[in-house]
Structures are given as C-alpha cells and as structure tokens.
Amino acid sequence: MKQLISFIFIITMLLGFSIPGGAIETSSDTALLMDAETGQILYESNGYQTVAAGTFGKIVSVLTAVENGNLKERITVDASSLEQANDPTISLVNGEIITLQDLLYAEMLANANDAAYVVADHFTTEEDDDYGEFITMMAKELDYCMASTMTMDNVDGAITTEQMCSCVDLANMIRFGTKNDDFRTIFTADNYTIDATNVTEQERNLESQHKMVNGTVDYSGVKGGFVSVSDTGEYRSITYAERRLGESNPKEQRKLIAVVLHSESEESMYQDIETLLDYGFGLQKVSADEKELLSFLPDTISSRDIAFENGVSLLLPEGDLIEDLDYRVSVDECGYFRGNITFYHSDQAIAAKAAFYEVQKESVLIPWIKRIALILVAIGILLALFLGIRMMTQKHQKSRQLQEKVQGKNKPRKRVDPNISSGLDFGNEYDNDPEYREYRQKQHQEYLRRRYAETGDHRYSKEWLDQQPKISQNQKRAQQKSTRRRNSKGKNNRKRG
C-alpha cells in the first residue's frame, strides 16, 4: 500500500501562455483568443495591457447581481437612483415595480445606465450614496474570476482612470461567468421583452447590440457577446462562441472567447472576431495521459515513485504534436518533492502542467500489521457480543428459576373441612396442576386416617365419605361460607370473654 507524502492539488494554469501570434494577424493592436474550457490563451496581442474598462463594467454588474440576488425579486425604482443616471435608456419611472431579471437584461442588451443604477441601489444600503458597497461586491467577483488587474470605480461604465481592465481580465470574467446558468442565459440572449409594469402598459423590446448575436453578421457558432464604443470612437467587443467539431471528434464541442479592443471601425472589429474564431476552431486538440507524461521526465526523476494528478490537453496548429514541443521540468524539494512540466511552442510557453509528485512506499510489515490489527479488533467485537448475550441468557434463567422456587414455597395450603363430603376444594390457580392436586389428595387421605385413628369418628372413614351424597359446587361454597361465619363468631365470643 502506498501513502502520499504530499498531495498537490494544483489547477492547471494556462493563463499567460499562448501560441505565438505570428500564425494570424488582426487589424486591432489589442486582441486575445482563449479556450473557455481550459483557459489556454490561443492568441494574444497586447493582451495584458490595461485600458479603460468603460461599459464593460455593466457585465461585472450583471454577474455580481446574478451571484448574489434573486432574479424573480420585484424592485421598486427609486428617484435617487434615476437622478444618478445620465441617460435614461429604458425610461424607468419613479415608483415603477420591475423584476431584477428585467433590469439585468436591460444592462446586458441595451447597455442601460438607469437599469445599472437601480440594480446598484438595490444591493446598497440607504446611507451609501456612492454605491461603494456594490462596487466592493463587484471587486470580489472579479477576484473570483481571476480578473486580477481589472478595477471598478463606478456602476454605469463611465470612463475613468480608476476603472481599468485588460483582454485577459475580460476573457476570464466571461469564462467563469458562463459557468453560472443564469448569467449564461442572459449573456447569450439575442433579444428580450420587458412586460408592462404598474406605470406603463407598453412593452419594452430589447435586442443585442452584437451583430453576430442578433444575426445581422452571419457567423456559425456565436452564442453571446457585448459591444461598446469608447469616447474616442474605438469599437470594442467580447464574443463567446461554441461549435461542435463533427468530423474529427463528434463529441468535442469547442468553446472560445474572443476579445477585440481598439478597432478603428465596426467592420474591422467583426473581421478580427471572425479571424480569431476561425483560427481557434481550426486548431487540433492533442492530449497526453499520465503515462505519456512520464516520458518527459528525466531519468533522475522518473526513477522515483512519481504520480501525476491527471493528463494534459492542448490546442495546437494542425500537424503539431505534444512530442514535438519543447518542454522544461521544474522541481521543488522544499520539504517534499514536486514539480511541473512547461511546454513551449516556438520558444514561447503555451501551457504549464503542475501535476506530478512523489509517493513513498511503506514498509512491508506495515500493511500486515494493519491487517492483523483489524482482525483482532473484529474478533474482540464478536467476543464481546458473545459474552454479552451469554450473560443475559444466564441472568434470565436464574431469574426464572428463582421465581419458580418462590412460587413453589408460597403455594396456598387451604384447610380442608372433614365434614365436606367432597374432601378437597381447590379454589386457586393450582386447580389445573395434576401434581399439586395429587399431592393434596394424598395429604387429605393421610389426615382422614389420622383423625379416624384418634377419634374413632366414622365421619373420618373413607366408607362413610363414599356413602355421602354428592353435592354441587354452589352447595360447597355455601358450606364453606357458613363454616367461616361460625368460626368468626367463635373468635369474637372468645375475645369478649
């Protein structure tokens, strides 16, 4: 039996490594393509450069509300929150009752400022006029999504130097957000209708501003997205796409996230999105299981008892194999032995797999000692059960014997009147006991012989008793009652005398 001296549970970190960007070109100088399943960055150009987040903050607002609220909850619009909004996008009215779900769809599809402020006001106490409480909640949500460099300063997406993000932050936010079913439904919606409320009978029809989502620009596989235009006129977008790869692997459904910033025109932005997605869907998936990964380790390490947590899967250009990649093995022996394998493509790291650790064999005697100990414990339990049952049985038998003995000593002995012709009257619980009846009959016969010998009274002889007429049970009881009455009167007269 083997025991792990160290169990390293490290999630595969693919962030920060990408296939070299020379494979494709985009008109935008800031773009990124990520595998939504593994987080592997397939392409990036200035992907870590921070820029103003702007209206992308509304995506954070929607994700935070979904994670912390109830979509069916009805919210009353407050005038103070409407005063904060510069643009009443969906024309909310003070006192209007609307669901949280309606407000989130308005934020995502219509980029509605008034909806954003009503949502923030709903999650903020009355004393907090700057919505700092909700902004703190959004910051915590970004930390969970591993959007480490994205910062929040307001709730409506106003461009400030304090609200920044990068392509990697935005891709990670969508990657983790789409794992929530409610957020995924809102983010991938192409249209939505807000029903009439208590102040308006008119429906509000919303449609996604992303043309690949609403169908204006045709591209197979695009499920959701968000588009905005900066104050300088630059087009920016986030696109989420899925496609089932039927020919190579019918069961594989590839999920990609494309981020494009700083596009000079709307047309060039959608062209860059198409270029990125075509490249991602054209990559091949290569894998190596735990046994294959052992071949990448040097002899000095593989000679040890090494175990891998799991295998590795990568998306590579057509024709490339994991065996053709360069790799480096790093080892950490700080108290225990562990390490990881980093793969390189054209001198750029594309994936790091922190997966192996050393296990130590136990002494040969230890397993046998454990088995023997378990057997002894089992025997002890069985022996204790046996002795307990035996003691209970013996105790029950002794109690029963003692009860029978006491009952035998305390058997009532009824005085027999020799004048009663029946000889014996068993008016107790032993009437049906043959042995007791025989015993009393013999005792009665002995008494009659002794009295006949002493007195000579013929009434004690067996011949005289046999000649007496038989009397009924009621007559016997009457005689016994009369005898007891006479005896009682004689006792009372003696006491008076």
Question: In the chain, how many H helices and how many E strands?
Answer: 15, 18
Helix (H) or strand (E) holding 2: strand 2-4
Asked if 174 and 242 touch (Cβ cutoff 8 Å), the reply is: no
Q: Check the CA dihedral 416-419-423-428 and report its sign.
A: negative
> What is the C-alpha to C-alpha distance for residues 48 and 29, in angstroms, rounded to an integer?
12
pLDDT at 223: 95
Contacts (Cβ under 8 Å, ≥6 apart) of 143: none
C-alpha–C-alpha distance, residues 228 and 209, integer Å: 8
Containing 408, the helix (H) or strand (E) segment is helix 365-409
Query: Which value, to the nearest 10 degrees, does the dihedral of the CA atoms of residues 335, 341, 344, 348 take?
Result: -30
pLDDT at 189: 95
**Which secondary-structure segment (H or E) carries 377?**
helix 365-409
Q: Which residue has the tokens 């980093």?
A: 342
Q: Give the residues across from 13 on adjacent strands.
A: 352
With residue 357 as reference, give the H or E element that holds it: strand 348-361
Taken in order 128, 134, 135, 137, the sign of the CA dihedral is positive
What is the pLDDT, as a whole number, of residue 432?
A: 59
Contact 188, 224 (CB under 8 A): yes
Q: Are 61 and 306 in contact (CB under 8 A)?
A: no
Three state DSSP letters for 330-345: EEECCCCCEEEEEEEE
Please state whether 221 falls in left (phi above 0), alpha (psi between -120 and 50) or beta.
Answer: left
pLDDT at res. 252: 76
If you search the block for the tokens 């947590």, which residue do you land on? 309
Closest CA to 423 of 393, 466, 374, 383: 466
- Per-residue pLDDT at 60: 94
Q: Which residues contact 209 (CB under 8 A, 6 or more apart)?
A: 109, 110, 111, 226, 227
Cβ–Cβ < 8 Å for 135, 154: yes
Q: What pLDDT, on the 0 to 100 scale, is given for residue 353?
A: 61
Dist CA 42 CA 21 (whole Å): 8
Question: Residue 239: enclosing H or E segment and its boundaries?
Answer: strand 235-244
Tens-of-pLDDT digits for all 497 residues of the chain? 333 323 332 333 333 445 544 568 899 999 999 999 888 888 989 988 999 888 899 999 999 999 999 999 999 998 888 888 877 788 899 999 999 999 999 999 999 999 999 999 999 887 767 788 999 999 999 998 888 889 888 888 777 778 899 999 999 999 999 999 999 999 999 999 999 999 988 999 999 999 999 999 999 999 999 999 887 889 999 999 999 876 555 567 899 999 999 899 999 999 999 999 999 999 888 888 777 787 788 877 766 777 777 777 888 887 788 777 888 787 776 656 778 778 877 776 676 564 677 776 655 567 788 889 899 999 999 999 999 999 998 888 888 877 776 666 555 554 444 444 444 444 555 555 677 777 777 777 777 777 777 777 666 666 656 655 655 666 667 767 777 777 776 656 555 55
Q: What is the dihedral of CA 459, 465, 471, 475, to 10 degrees?
A: 30
Query: Where do the H-state alpha helices sit in 99-230?
Result: 100-110, 113-122, 132-144, 167-177, 181-187, 211-214
Torsion over CA: 466, 469, 472, 475 (sign): negative
Question: Tell me, what DSSP letter sits at residue 420?
Answer: S
The residues, any chain, with a CB within 8 Å of residue 216's CB and separated by 6 or more, are none
